[in-house]
Amino acid sequence: MIGAGLVGRACAWLLQGRGHQVQLLDPCLNGATDPAAGSWAALGVVMAHVFQRSGGRAWRLRRRSLELWGSWRQELGEQGWPLPWQPGLLILASSATDVERQQRLQIERQRQAIPLEIWSPQQLADLTPALPAGAIGGLYSPADGQLDPGPALQALLGDGQRLGIQICGEAAVRLERRSGHWTVHSRGGLALRSEAVVVSAGVTSSSLLEPLGHLLPLEPVLGQALELQLPPDTHWGQNRAWPGAVVWQGLNLVPRPSSQIQGDRLWLGATLEPGCRADPNALVNLRQLGGAAPPWMGQAQPIRQWQGHRPHPIGRPAPLLEQLEPGLVLASGHYRNGLLLAPATAEWVAQQLENPA
């Protein structure tokens, strides 16, 4: 298994649990976390039932992943790896077109026995603290929510090692195919032999596969995020608190658990910036929510800033899930949905390896 982001760890954990012997390769496994890695920069917002489509591969993957995360949280929790889960997701509407689209989706989900709620402007106005200015309606999903990515990364690796996953903190630089097996060559000179290889190495997946004749270009899209300390007189109200994470014009606002020591905090993100260089103006616009930030957000104190690179397929829909050759599987290019789609991706990978065409 090449790549130890959320998708790679999910694949390794599931495969090891199903009786496969897995070796996981990634430089981050040597103890040094890559601050630019997409998985560590994720905010963990899970958007499945609020997805605008009701058919096709993307919808099936999202719906299946939401189901699997429920059982995975229970299984990992029983092994001593609790995964903080914040249920509920509120998508705000900023135009009449948004409202109409949300109403159509709510009707469609009713036909599928999936509960979604239309929230009125008055319901939004009653929430504390105030929501972004310009919100004229909302779509609430009780089953979607937010999963803390840090504990998820730690749990999948920690429990995976309990199951027997072997780890190697080196980067894979070349794949070599020989009759009946594959050899993975590492930057440190290791030659690791395996019956099958799963590539989930983000943007670097392309450079590993191109020498084998597989042209699957990926580009990095940088995202910046912030953690804000709410002003002293601003709190997540008890009966009028937000019903979970909030999405405003593609930006995620994630309440953090309150405590007497840390107070009330908010995760805010993330920007969409092609390439690898962060734009300070994009961060300013994020903080201002494109001019819609409520007054309390301008008074909030930034206490942490981070960024990461999401692998975006060029000319093809995300993610890239393909069995390229016997024993060579690609599971990468999840773009903004690595955490959401990790369980369904892992299940798909297992099916490819256990039932090859």
What token pair was written down for 312? 């975006």
Tokens 């009653």, located at residue: 126
| Long-range CB pairs of 29-36, under 8 A, 24+ apart, other chains included | 29/4, 29/157, 29/167, 29/168, 29/169, 30/169, 30/170, 31/169, 35/306, 35/307, 35/308, 36/276, 36/307, 36/308, 36/309
- Whether the CB-CB separation of 227 and 267 falls below 8 Å is answered with yes
Model pLDDT, residue 47: 98
- Whether the CB-CB separation of 293 and 132 falls below 8 Å is answered with yes
Q: Which residues pair with 320 in a beta bridge?
A: 332
Model pLDDT, residue 356: 81
Q: What is the mean pLDDT of each run of 10 residues along the chain (357 residues)?
A: 97 98 95 66 94 96 98 98 97 98 98 98 96 96 97 97 97 93 96 97 96 96 95 82 96 86 87 93 96 95 94 96 97 96 98 89
Residue ranges covered by each domain of the chain: 6-40+151-218+315-354, 86-145+220-312
- Whether the CB-CB separation of 163 and 57 falls below 8 Å is answered with no
Query: What is the pTM (predicted TM-score) of this model?
Result: 0.96
Pick the CATH number of 6-40+151-218+315-354 from 3.30.200.20, 3.30.530.20, 3.50.50.60, 3.40.50.620: 3.50.50.60
Model pLDDT, residue 65: 98
Identify the CATH class of 86-145+220-312.
alpha beta
DSSP labels, 277-302: SPPHHHHHHHHHGGGT--HHHHHSEE
Q: Do strands 197-199 and 273-274 pair parallel, antiparallel, or not at all (unpaired)?
A: unpaired
Model pLDDT, residue 42: 87
